[in-house]
Structure 1
Amino acid sequence: MESLLAARPLVNCPPPCFPSLSIGVAMARVCLGESEAIPGLPIIGNLHQLKEKKPHQTFTKWSETYGPIYTIKTGASSVVVLNSTEVAKEAMVEKFSSISSRKLPKPMSVLSRNRMVAVSDFGDFQKMAKRNIMLSMLGYTAQKQFRDARERMVSKVLSNLHKLVTADPHSPLNFRDVYITELFGMSLTQTLGEDVSSVYVEEFGREISKVEIFHVLVHDMLMWAVEADWRDYFPYLSWIPNKSFETALFTAEARRNSVMRALIKKQKERIERGEARTCYMDFLLEHNSTPLTADDYQMLVFLWESIIASADTVLVNTEWIMYEIAKNPDKQERLLEEIREVCGGRTVTEEDLPRLPYLNAVFHETLRLHSPVPVLAPRFVHEDTTLAGYDVPAGTQLMINVYGCHMDKRAWDSPEEWAPERFLGGEGVSGAGRAFGAGKRICAGSLQAMNVVSVAAARFVQEFRWALREGDGGKEDTMQFTALKLDPLHVHLEPRGRV
Structure 2
Amino acid sequence: MDLFGAGTETTSTSLEWALFELLRNPRTMKELQQEARKIGQGRSVIPEEDIDKMPYLKAVFKEALRLHAPAPLLIPRESTKEVKLLGYDIPSGTQVIINAWAISRDPSVWEEPEEFKPERFLNSPIDYKGLDYELLPFGGGRRKCPGISFAVTINELALANLVYEFEFALSGEKSLDMSENDGVTVSKKFPLLVKATPCE
User: What displacement does 1:443 show?
Assistant: 0.8
Give the aligned partner of residue 495 of structure 1: 198
1:135-174 alpha-carbon deviations (Å, 9 max, x no partner): xxxxxxxxxxxxxxxxxxxxxxxxxxxxxxxxxxxxxxxx
| Cα distance between partner residues in 2 of 1:453 and 1:338 | 16
Aligned positions of 1:121-140 closer than 5 A: none
Extract structure 1 runs of 4+ deviating beyond 6 A.
none
Percent of pairs with identical residues: 37
Which has a greater percent of helix? 1
Paired with 1:468 and 1:317, the residues of 2 have a C-alpha distance of: 19
**Superposed displacement of residue 428, structure 1:** 4.6
- Give 1:485 deviation, angstroms: 1.0
> Equivalents in 2 of 1:418, 1:433: separation in Å?
14
Long gaps (5+) in structure 2:
none
Deviation at 1:309, TM superposition (A): 1.6
- C-alpha separation between the residues in 1 aligned to 2:180 and 2:198? 29
The code of the aligned residue for 1:376 comes to: L
1:481 aligns to 2:178 (yes or no): no
Tell me the residue number matched to 2:70: 372
Name the CA distance, whole Å, in 2 between partners of 1:493 and 1:324. Answer: 16
- Residue 109 (structure 2) pairs with residue 406 (structure 1): no
Normalised by the size of structure 2, how large is the TM-score? 0.89
Q: What is the rounded CA distance, in whole Å, between the counterparts of 2:46 and 2:195 in structure 1?
A: 22
Alignment match of 2:123 (pick from 413, 425, 430): 425
The counterpart of 1:448, out of the listed 128, 143, 150, is 150
Q: Which amino acid aligns with 1:486?
A: K
Q: Is residue 411–residue 427 contact of structure 1 (8 Å, CA) maintained in 2?
A: no
Q: Distance in 2 between matches of 1:426 and 1:374?
A: 22
1:341 paired residue number: 38
CA deviation after TM superposition for structure 1 residue 397, in Å: 2.1
Aligned pair partner of 2:10 in 299, 313, 330: 313
Which structure would you say has the larger Rg?
Answer: 1
Task: Choose from 438, 455, 462 the match for 2:164.
Answer: 462
- The Cα shift of 1:387 comes to 2.5
C-alpha contact (below 8 Å) 1:383/1:394 kept by paired residues: yes
Give the CA deviation at 1:311: 1.9
- Once the two structures are TM-superposed, the CA of residue 367 in structure 1 deviates from its matched residue by 0.5
In structure 2, give the amino acid aligned to 1:337: Q
Contact residue 84 and residue 90 of structure 2 kept, 8 A: yes
CA distance in 1, matches of 2:38, 2:68: 28
| Counterpart-to-counterpart distance in 2, 1:402 and 1:317 | 15
Shift of 1:447: 0.7
Q: Residue deviations 1:170-222, cap 9 Å, x none?
A: xxxxxxxxxxxxxxxxxxxxxxxxxxxxxxxxxxxxxxxxxxxxxxxxxxxxx
